[in-house]
């Protein structure tokens, strides 16, 4: 079996890497290749992988032509984590697909209008797949080259799988695709429902969880939680995490900007200090924490500063996590934590990222209801640490789906 993963950086490559490892463990002899786009290559190398890049396919006269266009396009497009050679190849190979399709004048017009965000190099990906001859192509829900790889594979009769990182909410371009992968691995039952509402066939969708979240329930998380609690002398006391962020400036004045976060912080502080044992951790978005007020020092209150402390220890040490519209809620659910989602948050209401409605937590209708729900859900968390269901197995589940797709393909039939 030969499997090709195509991915961009950030959370997308982080979804792919655990699945690649799971495939190798479950399928001895399986050849796993990674086409790492832009910033994904550096992440993959740090993880011990030897990824391919577009510069590996930028050869001969076409490659020289692509590099010449790349030199004209690069400008301020260079990212510090991406080599200049890879940037030139990425820009140039994508651009000449436009030139060949609509002519140079129109290609430059498309570049001025949409830039690199308009790239979708299906022809390039078809050439790469024909050269590599994978049995299955895997990507995430990212657009551009990842989407192009799935489209190209479908035209070549190669089975495909895509992984959806979060919720596929209304407005997500992924929902509007005309061609979907043969198998779609999704985060949750809520994501599955959202794709069904968008018209995606039910037989293509499987709920696996997000492989990037598997580590949140592993041995590393357990050790981090123990160390975090020990350092603060919290022992086995119940811990609540408030993971907040700013609200839109044009929202209801009661909640706009830092107002909602500060109000929730004050309510949780008041509740915590009234309890003999409860502990509270407060952590705001990495770009926004400095806009909130640091609480008075207390042995049972911890201010988690993102530029000094990673998320894993404080999340792993928590029993209950309170959130607005942040991916920390999905991570908390994956880690088996009780989640309270603030349904009255303007950003939650605008984005649809309501953890209660998505089936990943309990809705908090208004601020007055928060303390009682904290007490109720915290008690449930302490009684049943597995209430969120099976965790830490998303990579293995996705790997099984990939193997099943490969098994469906006639032996010896490759692009």
Tokens linked to 26: 């479950």
Q: How far from 145 is each of 142, 197, 198, 306, 385, CA to CA, in Å? A: 8, 26, 23, 32, 41
Residue pLDDT, tens place only, 231-280? 999 999 999 999 999 999 999 999 999 999 999 999 999 999 999 999 99
Domain ranges, ordered by start, for the chain = 2-213+393-408, 219-383
Residue pair 166/156 in contact by the 8 Å Cβ criterion: no
Please provide the average confidence, as pLDDT, over all residues in the chain: 91
298/280 Cα distance (integer angstroms): 10
- Tell me whether the CATH fold assigned to 2-213+393-408 matches the one assigned to 219-383: yes
- In CATH, the architecture of 2-213+393-408 is 3-Layer(aba) Sandwich (3.40)
Q: For residue 382, what pLDDT band results from cuts at 50, 70 and 90?
A: low
Q: Is the pTM higher than 0.85?
A: no
- What is the β-pairing status of strands 239-244 and 279-284? parallel
Q: Which CATH architecture has domain 219-383?
A: 3-Layer(aba) Sandwich (3.40)
Structure tokens at 351: 């984005």
The answer to whether the CB of 365 falls within 8 A of the CB of 340 is no
Q: What count of Cα atoms within 13 Å lies in the side-chain half-sphere of residue 1?
A: 23
């Amino acid at each position: 079996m030969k499997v090709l993963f195509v991915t961009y950086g950030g959370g997308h490559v982080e979804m792919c890497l655990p699945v690649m490892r799971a495939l190798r463990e479950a399928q001895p002899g399986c050849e796993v290749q990674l086409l790492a786009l832009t910033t994904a290559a550096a992440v993959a190398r740090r993880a011990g992988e030897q990824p391919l890049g577009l510069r590996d396919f930028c050869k001969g006269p076409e490659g020289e032509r692509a590099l010449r266009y790349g030199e004209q396009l690069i400008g301020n497009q260079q990212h510090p984590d991406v080599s200049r050679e890879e940037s030139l190849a990425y820009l140039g190979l994508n651009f000449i697909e436009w030139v060949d399709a609509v002519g140079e004048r129109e290609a430059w017009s498309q570049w001025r209008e949409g830039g690199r965000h308009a790239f979708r190099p299906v022809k390039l990906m078809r050439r790469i797949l024909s050269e590599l001859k994978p049995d299955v192509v895997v990507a995430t829900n990212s657009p551009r080259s990842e989407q192009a790889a799935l489209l190209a594979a479908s035209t070549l009769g190669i089975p495909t799988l895509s992984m959806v990182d979060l919720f596929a909410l209304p407005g997500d371009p992924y929902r509007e695709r005309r061609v979907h992968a043969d198998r779609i691995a999704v985060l949750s039952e809520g994501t599955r429902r959202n794709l069904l509402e968008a018209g995606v066939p039910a037989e293509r969708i499987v709920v696996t969880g997000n492989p990037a979240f598997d580590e949140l329930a592993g041995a590393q998380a357990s050790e981090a939680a123990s160390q975090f609690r020990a350092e603060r002398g919290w022992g086995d006391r119940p811990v609540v995490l408030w993971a907040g962020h700013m609200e839109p400036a044009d929202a209801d004045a009661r909640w706009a900007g830092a107002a909602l976060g500060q109000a929730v912080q004050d309510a949780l502080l008041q509740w915590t200090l009234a309890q003999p044992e409860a502990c509270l951790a407060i952590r705001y978005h990495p770009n926004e924490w400095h806009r909130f007020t640091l609480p008075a020092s207390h042995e049972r209150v911890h201010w988690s500063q993102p530029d000094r402390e990673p998320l894993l220890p404080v999340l792993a040490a928590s029993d209950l996590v309170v959130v607005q519209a942040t991916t920390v809620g999905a991570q908390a659910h994956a880690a088996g934590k009780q989640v309270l989602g603030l349904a009255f948050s303007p950003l939650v209401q605008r984005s649809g990222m309501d953890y209660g409605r998505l089936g990943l937590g309990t809705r908090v209708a208004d601020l007055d209801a928060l303390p009682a729900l904290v007490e109720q859900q915290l008690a449930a968390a302490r009684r049943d640490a597995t209430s969120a269901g099976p965790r830490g197995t998303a990579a293995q589940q996705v790997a099984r789906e990939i193997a099943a797709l490969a098994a469906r393909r006639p032996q010896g039939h490759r692009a």
